[in-house]
Structure formats: structure tokens, C-alpha cells
């Protein structure tokens, strides 16, 4: 039996397919088109990778900011719940989860029973998210990938102090006009973003093991600064793309929901 999860965010879409106890496909795509189309495209990529067809999906759960736009969803689960379900499957010793994506900034603690005990979410400000870094990269006239790579070689990071992305963009442009090296400017931006993420994460108990998930977890510079700031080494995710963890959790929920429905329909002996 095939169970699917779709995580539709603000700037990317993720899909996961689970068969029995195994992941058979994980996919993630950036998108700038209609959310419904992105949800369809990412699932089609996952199905193609697994050698499956749409008709073979038994149940699908959607999550993320755009979950209601997923046309093939049989149900919906909050993204924090999907993350909690996934990390407990990956590593039941994980006690703190930090999730930072294109527009997501949240953290939560997991108790000994595997439930969420405390959580914090910041939705009104993009500082520290992937969108924040993309805006600053555009202000520097470079792609995010190129400026991130260049910033890793910076020996004199210039701290940016404006929390508002509009003011930070203006501050960055001023520093460029002063003749500062873009890689030093962006290195400071990355450090500031890590400080912002760390400040948010400390609002819940930082208990080992700690998982860092979401698209920003793939950013080596952010990851390194955050580990140093929080004095932790982030737990491994068993080779699972940190950006697709929520989709994986949704697929696990799809399996559980389908089996619970099936049991209710079984005739009495």
C-alpha cells in the first residue's frame, strides 16, 4: 500500500511516498506558480521516481501553509504535528526541533512520551528565514547560492542590525555604497539570521537531542553558527532531506489514518 504526504509552503513544495515501513520517494521543488500546480508537480516527480501512478496512492495527507490548496489530499494535519511525528520515527531520542524555512520560524520541545510540550512560532517577521536571505542576496545583485558560498570565505563579517527586512535591505545597500565587500556584508547577515533563530529557539527548552529541519537546515553557514550559539551538535536525520521531513510526517499520518478507517469498516466477527 502507498501513502503520500504533501507539504506545501510559501516558496517550495515537498512530497513523500511511503510503502509499508519504507520511504520510496522524497521530492522538493521551489515554485513561483500556482500552489495547486506546484502540489501536483512535486507529487508527480515523487511518483515517477518510485515508478508509481496516481491510482496507486491509497491515502494522502497535506500540511504546510498551503495545505488547503493540495487537490489530491484526503485530509490535513498541522505542520508542527507532522514534524513531531516524523522526527519521532527517525530518532525517538530527539527532544527539541527547530524548523526554519522560506517563511517559517518555529521550535518545539518533545516530552518523554513523544508529545509536544512547548512551542513557539514567529509568523509576522521573516527575519532569519530563507526569504530574508533571498531579499538581501537580491539587494547585493547575486544569487543566494553564489553569495552564500562567497560568504563562507569572509574573514571580516559586517553585522547587520536591522530586524525589519526592508530596513536591513536599505542598510545592506548603504554598506555596499561605502565600498564594503558583499561577501563580508552577507556573512554578517547570515550571523544575524542565526542569532535571530537561536533567540527564538531558546524560548523552548533546548534539550538534547536537537533536530534542525526546514530549508534553512541545508545552509551550512546558518547551521554552523546555530550549533555554536546553542552549544549543540544537531542530530542526524537518517539521510532524509531536512526540507522534506514534514512531508514524511504527513505520509506517516496518511498511513495511520487509512488503517484506522479500514479497521472501523471491518465487520464484527
pLDDT tens, residue by residue, 182-212? 899 888 888 888 888 999 999 998 999 999 9
What residue ranges of the chain are covered by domains with CATH 3.30.420.40? 1-91+239-269, 93-236
Whole-model pTM? 0.89
How confident is the model over 208-258, as pLDDT tens digits? 999 999 998 998 888 998 999 899 999 999 999 999 999 999 999 999 999
* pLDDT score recorded for residue 265: 58
How confident is the model over 18-44, as pLDDT tens digits? 998 899 999 999 987 789 999 999 999
pLDDT above 70 as % of the chain = 95
Q: Does the structural domain 1-91+239-269 have CATH classification 3.30.420.40?
A: yes
How confident is the model over 71-117, as pLDDT tens digits? 999 999 999 999 999 999 999 999 999 999 888 889 999 999 899 99
Q: CA angle 119-120-121, nearest 5°?
A: 130
In this predicted structure, the answer to whether residue 49 has a pLDDT above a threshold of 90 is: yes
Q: Which CATH superfamily is domain 93-236 in?
A: ATPase, nucleotide binding domain (3.30.420.40)
How confident is the model over 145-179, as pLDDT tens digits? 888 888 888 888 887 777 777 788 888 888 888 88
Place of cell 562567497: 150
Structure confidence at residue 14 as a pLDDT band (50, 70, 90): very high
In this predicted structure, the answer to whether residue 54 has a pLDDT above a threshold of 90 is: yes
Buried-state track 88-115, b at ≥16 Cβ within 10 A, e below 16: bbbeeebbbbbbbbbbbbbbbbbeeeee
Residues 200, 192 contacting (CB under 8 angstroms) = no
Q: Which of 104, 142, 140 is nearest to 120 (CA)?
A: 104
Phi, psi of 17 (to 5 degrees): -125, 130
Structure confidence at residue 70 as a pLDDT band (50, 70, 90): very high
Amino acid at each position: 500500500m502507498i501513502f503520500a504526504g504533501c507539504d506545501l509552503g510559501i516558496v517550495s513544495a515537498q512530497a513523500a511516498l511511503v510503502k509499508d515501513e519504507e520511504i520510496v520517494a522524497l521530492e522538493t521543488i521551489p515554485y513561483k506558480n500556482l500552489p495547486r500546480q506546484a502540489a501536483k508537480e512535486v507529487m508527480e516527480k515523487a511518483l515517477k521516481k518510485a515508478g508509481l501512478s496516481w491510482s496507486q496512492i491509497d491515502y494522502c495527507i497535506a500540511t504546510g501553509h498551503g495545505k488547503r490548496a493540495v487537490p489530491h489530499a484526503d485530509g490535513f494535519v498541522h505542520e508542527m504535528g507532522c514534524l513531531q511525528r516524523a522526527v519521532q520515527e527517525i530518532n525517538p531520542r530527539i527532544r527539541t526541533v527547530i524548523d526554519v524555512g522560506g517563511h517559517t520560524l518555529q521550535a518545539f520541545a518533545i516530552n518523554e512520551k513523544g508529545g509536544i510540550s512547548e512551542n513557539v512560532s514567529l509568523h509576522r517577521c521573516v527575519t532569519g528565514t530563507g526569504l530574508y536571505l533571498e531579499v538581501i542576496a537580491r539587494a547585493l545583485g547575486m544569487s543566494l547560492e553564489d553569495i552564500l558560498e562567497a560568504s563562507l570565505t569572509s574573514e571580516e563579517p559586517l553585522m547587520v542590525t536591522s530586524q525589519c527586512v526592508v530596513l536591513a535591505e536599505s542598510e545592506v545597500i548603504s554598506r555596499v555604497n561605502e565600498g564594503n565587500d558583499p561577501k563580508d556584508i552577507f556573512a554578517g547577515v547570515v550571523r544575524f539570521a542565526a542569532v535571530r533563530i537561536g533567540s527564538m529557539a531558546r524560548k523552548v527548552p533546548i534539550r538534547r537531542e536537537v533536530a534542525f529541519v526546514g530549508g534553512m537546515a541545508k545552509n551550512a553557514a546558518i547551521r554552523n553558527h546555530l550549533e555554536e550559539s546553542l552549544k549543540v551538535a544537531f542530530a542526524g536525520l537518517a539521510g532524509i532531506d531536512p526540507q522534506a521531513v514534514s512531508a514524511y510526517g504527513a505520509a506517516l499520518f496518511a498511513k495511520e489514518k487509512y488503517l484506522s478507517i479500514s479497521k472501523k469498516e471491518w465487520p464484527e466477527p
